[in-house]
Amino acid sequence: MIGLAALFGAVIGALLGLVGGGGGILAVPALVYGLGLPFSAAVPASLVVIGLASAVAVAPRARREVNWRLAVIIGAAGVPTALLGGVVNHHLDQHVLLLVFAGIMILAAARMLRGTDETGGVCDLPDGGVAWRRCLPRAIVTGLLVGFLTGLLGVGGGFLLVPALIIALGLRTPNAVATSLVIIVINSMAGLVPYLATGHIATGMNWPAIAVFALAAIVVSLPAGRLARRIPATALRRGFAVLVLVVAAAVTVQAITSLIA
């Protein structure tokens, strides 16, 4: 169990460091099917792991690559919906949630396979300022959506954030990756609140395995972040998309089998 926790944690940390997100979308299946946690426990456990690993992964990029204004706006917009998502989670069947989770994984992977070409200019002005009239509404909508998914499904939202920051807001890929990590930390903290308030975080937890999972993710995220600068973004994105599709297929089969049984 501990060995599996370390292996899965290392994979999640590598994803966070390499592509600025996507760890949460694989962390929950790993915790449920790899470590045997119930979905109700895997969601808050994922938020703890993803939040900590993202905070460490963004440290080397915090000064030069994070767009702090957008990070704060999107993160703040996602706080109330992350709380709402956590509340809604308690009222839905976990097998139904896993099917929803798999559907979102498939949509995210399909979007990444189509590409996320950098458009630029949506938020940035030539003088270095921000075009808030065009940028602010998109930033708020992005924050609301990603925040809700964070609370509902235990994902940091990086698999949605990075494409959104590039396509909808026009950030360059390095800035989008770094900025997404800050937003993931904010969303993870907010999404964890309903689970702490209701005591769900103490139910079904395997704390030694979760601690090893989190430590492995943190340790691997830093060198992975450095390695990401040497690998073409397109190759990283497509490889991750294929991995997400494979996991989504496995989650779908397992969830449907459980519903039928």
Degrees (nearest 5) of the Cα angle 38, 75, 68?
135
- Classify 244 in phi/psi space as left (phi over 0), alpha (psi -120 to 50) or beta: alpha
Alpha helices (runs of H) in 199-232, residue ranges in sequence order: 207-228
In angstroms, how far is CA 138 from the centroid of its own chain?
19
pLDDT at 20 over 70: no
Share of the chain above pLDDT 70, in %: 85
pTM: 0.75
pLDDT at 76 over 90: yes
Q: Which residue has the higher pLDDT, 231 or 158?
A: 231
Average pLDDT, stretch 153-180?
A: 76
Q: Taking the domains of the chain in order of start, what are their residue ranges?
A: 2-260
- Classify 120 in phi/psi space as left (phi over 0), alpha (psi -120 to 50) or beta: left
Reported confidence tier of residue 6, pLDDT bands at 50, 70, 90: very high
